[in-house]
Structure 1
Amino acid sequence: MKLSVLDQSVALAGASEDAAIRDTLALAQHCESLGYHRFWLSEHHGLPTIVGSAPEILMAAIAARTSRIRIGSAGVMLPHYSALKVAEQFRVLEALAPGRIDLGVGRAPGGDMRTAQALNPNAHAAAEAFPQQVLDLLAWTSKPRHRGITAHPLGPQAPEVWVLGSSDYGAQLAAHLGLPYAFAYFFTDGQGAEPAIELYRARYEPSERHPRPQATLCVWALAADTEEEALHHAQSRERWRVDRQRGVFGPLQAPAEIAARGFTAEEWPVVESMRRKAFVGSAAQVADKLRALAQRFEMDELVVNTWAYEPAVRRRSYELLAEEFSLQ
């Protein structure tokens, strides 16, 4: 089974946000050396936690530092932009890393609506026009000319377009257009994944590039040398998710500080619910859960997203999973 990576350039308490961007570059090189298939980058705006706001720029930097791993956006929030401009950006990326570029697109704002309005004053209307935007994007990335306009630079290959989503909407659109589909399992703790994947496969209309449906799940997972160690480091994300429910956002906090403060009686049910669904534990425990998930959804690839306060802990998690799945 193939394993891939979704990185979000997460800011850490006590460190500058720009350090998170540089850590993303180092992690991409590390994951290539471990045998991961893809390295995807998210797009978020106006958040003090997830500071990767321009995946296409990060992709260019990663392309210059790697030679094999596929590089992609997960994704470009298309309603913020012109489809032609995105096509041009990704044609440039394809020229930099031929045959290695994934163009994942989503409809969500990737932030609050005020920020979405600042990015595009017609954000709401643009979201309604998302299917047409995807059609235009497909045309400009795969054909010499569309609407009398050419998206340069031309080349023998084109970026591979993916539709991203966490609901039935993206699944239906991907199926109708004959495109690969990635479900954000980590975003919903799996809620809605089964009906979305079933709908995608049932309604899939084969395309020239993708004669068969191709789906994957993006899963949050953290492996460590022991289950106790993994649970300790997972507290950083647990604290962030509990705070997020109260509308409080900030950089990822150190697990030792969180453990010293503890969770309140009101917060514990939320934390326990997260832990029951989490892919957290020793390497063998996490690998078993990932294999079971892949078998349940009949998938040969999963995309792993990992948050940890210490960069070394995150790298170790990816190392352990690469060993468990014998990545090459």
Structure 2
Amino acid sequence: MKISVLDQSPAKSGISPAESIRESLVLARACETFGYHRYWLSEHHNTESVAGSAPEILIAAIAATTSRIRVGAAGIMLPHYAALKVAEQFRVLEAIAPGRIDLGLGRAPGSDGRTAFALNPNAARAADMFPSQVRDVMAWTSDAPLPAEHPFRDIICQPQGPTAPEYWILGSSTYGAQLAGYFGLPYCYAYFFTDGEGTEEALDAYRRSFTPSAILAAPHSAIVVAALAADTPEEAEYWYRSRAVAWAIRGRGKFIAMPSPEEAAAFDLTDSERARMAAAREKALIGTAPEVTARLRALTLRLGVDELVITTGTTSPAARIKSYELFAREFQRASDF
């Protein structure tokens, strides 16, 4: 079982989003020392809640300032971009950190429809071309041939090199799962998007549709979970409060910067929002590291996944680093790293 990190560079009340990006650089170096296998960055646009809009740039900065941990995107929202440009970016990243780059590809916009249009006026049509885009990106980044009838088959993607990124398909539906199976690629399900709903269906679809490839002989799956550990249950509850309130009010269509625990406690919530918070708390993976790690182990065993990716959001950089350190110690104790 490999244990990894998804960092969304969460934006926080009273702090510049630019500071959230710099905090990601610090957290990545810490997680490398803790022994995590991968460090993934997400892509979101036009939101006050997430500062990370350009994972390819953060990957470069982190790859250049670490030495062991794999670094990658979870993921690049491919319909926003030309496949060749994405391939060139990841060829450059592979040159910076050969053999340590992950290229996770997703079809979702990571934004609202208007923003998706601003990024690419042909985004709706591009989403329908996602399978061929995935094929093209893999071919250009691995120096594999494109189909004979491809109009751009003679274009060379630079910089050339002996290694290629590790490809993943990411998603929260059966569409991406089936596509990953078709291409014979690893698949990661965004468990935290849906509080786990649909996970079994997506993983089953992936395994049923899997075709062995030159990359994988058998299915290889992961899930991303939101989890937080602290020295005491009370401390975990305190830091969790910020995320809980931010998620509760998304029903209003608002994606706000994460409030401080004190701001969250004073937030004017409706009865339905409080009910939503209470329901989410029942499933929340928060508490002391031994308690939460036991639940995470049980979850991964039940789902039969090969890797676990943890995302943690707090308004305190120190608390976030401490949470990852506590999880690392606990998993290392059981030789799960």
> Is TM (by shorter chain) over 0.5?
yes
Does the CA contact (< 8 Å) of 1:144 and 1:154 recur in 2?
A: no
Distance 1:133 1:255 in 2: 43
For residues 224-235 of structure 1, the aligned pairs below 5 Å read 224-235=230-241
2:229 counterpart (219, 223, 239): 223
What are the ranges of 5 or more consecutive residues in structure 2 without an aligned counterpart? 147-152
Q: Which residue of 1 aligns with 2:164?
A: 158
Does the CA contact (< 8 Å) of 1:184 and 1:219 recur in 2?
A: yes
Task: Give, as a single letter, the amino acid of the residue that structure 1 aligns with 2:322.
Answer: R
Cα offsets for 1:88-130 (capped at 9, x unmatched): 1001100100100000010011101111001000010000111
Distance 1:129 1:155 in 2: 28
How far off is 1:261 after superposition? 4.4
How far off is 1:203 after superposition? 1.6
Tell me, yes or no, if structure 1 residue 51 matches structure 2 residue 57.
Answer: no
Q: Which residue of 2 aligns with 1:301?
A: 307
For residues 259-274 of structure 1, the aligned pairs below 5 Å read 259-261=265-267, 263-274=269-280
- Report how many aligned residue pairs link the two structures: 328
Q: Which residue of 1 aligns with 2:149?
A: none
Tell me, yes or no, if structure 1 residue 192 matches structure 2 residue 198.
Answer: yes
Tell me, yes or no, if structure 1 residue 287 matches structure 2 residue 293.
Answer: yes
TM-score (norm 2): 0.95
Q: Which residue of 2 aligns with 1:39?
A: 39
Q: Which residue of 1 aligns with 2:124?
A: 124
SS at match of 2:98: coil
Q: Which residue of 1 aligns with 2:154?
A: 148
Distance 1:249 1:142 in 2: 38
SS at match of 2:272: coil
Q: Which residue of 2 aligns with 1:201?
A: 207
Of 1-10 and 253-262, the range deviating more from structure 2: 253-262
Q: Which residue of 2 aligns with 1:3?
A: 3
TM-score (norm 1): 0.97
How far off is 1:264 after superposition? 4.3
How far off is 1:280 after superposition? 0.8
| Structure 1 residues 144 and 128: CA distance shift in structure 2, 3 A | closer
Of 17-26 and 135-144, the range deviating more from structure 2: 135-144
Distance 2:50 2:276 in 1: 22
SS at match of 1:266: helix
Tell me, yes or no, if structure 1 residue 321 matches structure 2 residue 322.
Answer: no
How far off is 1:299 after superposition? 2.3
Distance 2:43 2:272 in 1: 32
Q: Which residue of 2 aligns with 1:242?
A: 248
Distance 2:243 2:65 in 1: 29
How far off is 1:260 after superposition? 3.9
Distance 2:272 2:186 in 1: 41
What are the ranges of 5 or more consecutive residues in structure 1 without an aligned counterpart? none
Q: Which residue of 2 aligns with 1:100?
A: 100
Task: Give, as a single letter, the amino acid of the residue that structure 1 aligns with 2:188.
Answer: A
SS at match of 1:216: strand
How far off is 1:256 after superposition? 2.0
Cα offsets for 1:175-206 (capped at 9, x unmatched): 00000100000001101000110111122100
Task: Give, as a single letter, the amino acid of the residue that structure 2 aligns with 1:77.
Answer: M
Q: Which residue of 1 aligns with 2:91?
A: 91
Cα offsets for 1:12-42 (capped at 9, x unmatched): 1111110000000100000000000000000
Task: Give, as a single letter, the amino acid of the residue that structure 2 aligns with 1:143.
Answer: D
RMSD over aligned Cα atoms: 1.2
Q: Which residue of 2 aligns with 1:67?
A: 67
